[in-house]
Structure 1
Amino acid sequence: MKSLLTTPIGRLRLICYLEGISLLLLVFVAAPLKYGMDNPAFTKILGPVHGMLFLLFMFNTLSVGVEYNWKFRETTWKVILACFIPFGTFYIDKKILSKL
């Protein structure tokens, strides 16, 4: 657990989890509440939080990619693409980030 906070890959993995959870909450909880029950309160709270985590994830991914000399065509684009797909960040963490 300590390595999640002390290494760049560890911080990326932590942000990866947080961004993935916020995306799932936004897509599967907040959006149905907003459009199905006409209750936009949760999206007003979670939307900006997810946006901040998304940007943090993108900047951190690019930073780690440069620091670890990732080739964009082999690794970086896969990690970036994962944040657009629900459950994608968890898959990338298991398949790529946990092995670095």
Structure 2
Amino acid sequence: MIGLRRTAIFEAWTLILLFGVAMPLKYWAGIDQATSIMGPIHGLAFIIFLWFVIRSLAEGIIDGFGTARLILGAFIPGAGFVNERWLRCQSEEE
């Protein structure tokens, strides 16, 4: 579960940096390199996060609701931090 929590935080940070820093630099300052650097970093973080979610579902650590919650949260900037807190509470209940 610790790997899932860490990747949720990492994915959340990369999404915030992509939306909050790289995209404004690209569209407002004309620096196209910002998204060409941050985009693949976030893409890799997202794929690793999905791998941890699917693995956790297969191992029975999370259920279908948890899987849907985590995947939906990966598309909302900052929601990864909320999901990490939820995962922490889930691990404390066990």
Is 1:35 aligned to 2:27, yes or no?
A: yes
Separation (CA, whole Å) in 1 of partners of 2:15 and 2:69: 17
TM-score for the superposition, normalised by structure 2 = 0.90
Provide the aligned C-alpha RMSD in A: 1.1
Identity %: 32
Q: Which runs of 5+ in 2 are unaligned?
A: none
Q: Count residues in correspondence.
A: 90
Which residue is equivalent to 1:6? Answer: none
What displacement does 1:65 show? Answer: 1.4
What displacement does 1:69 show? Answer: 5.1
Separation (CA, whole Å) in 2 of partners of 1:90 and 1:69: 19
- Which gives a bigger RCO, structure 1 or 2 (Cα 8 Å, sep 6+)? 2
TM-score for the superposition, normalised by structure 1 = 0.85
Is 1:75 aligned to 2:66, yes or no?
A: yes
Which residue is equivalent to 1:90? Answer: 81
Q: Which runs of 5+ in 1 are unaligned?
A: 1-8
Q: Once the two structures are superposed, what CA deviation does each residue of 1:33-61 show, in whole Å capped at 9, x if it has no partner? A: 00011111111111101001001101110
